[in-house]
Amino acid sequence: MTKICFKEYDGTEHVVDAKDGESVMRVAIENGVPGLQAECGGNLSCSTCHGYLDQKFYDLLPKPDENEEMLLDGTIAPEPTSRLTCQIIVTPELDGMTVRWPESQY
């Protein structure tokens, strides 16, 4: 099982077991992790699943596509390692990844 740590803006951590093949957003929602809304349910149209990755894991993943880049540009506080977590699929390589949530999704 792949372990992912979700870190709230205040530093509270939630380490959960993530099923390979699921989106990171879905893993957070299913485990009751606070800090995201995921209003569009993963359809790449809301950007309320925005999280920050460590550089190492950001570099492991395929780059965000044009639509994701556009939505990330519209988030309140994008950073160089920002991703929409509904677009990240869990694989064993992501074991140990930390996703930090921004202060707000709006």
Distance between CA atoms of residues 27 and 69, nearest Å: 22
Per CB under 6 A, 61 contacts ligand FES = no
Look-up of token digits 């093949």: 21
Residue 44: CB atoms within 10 A of its CB come to 15
Stretch that binds ligand FES, among 40-48, 57-65, 74-82, 95-103 (CB under 6 A): 40-48
Stretch that binds ligand FES, among 10-18, 36-44, 54-62, 92-100 (CB under 6 A): 36-44
Look-up of token digits 């939505």: 71
Identify whether the C-beta of residue 83 lies closer than 8 Å to the C-beta of residue 58: yes
Chain residue whose CB lies nearest ligand FES:
86
Per CB under 6 A, 84 contacts ligand FES = yes
Residues of this chain that bind ligand FES (CB under 6 A): 25, 38-40, 42, 44-49, 84, 86
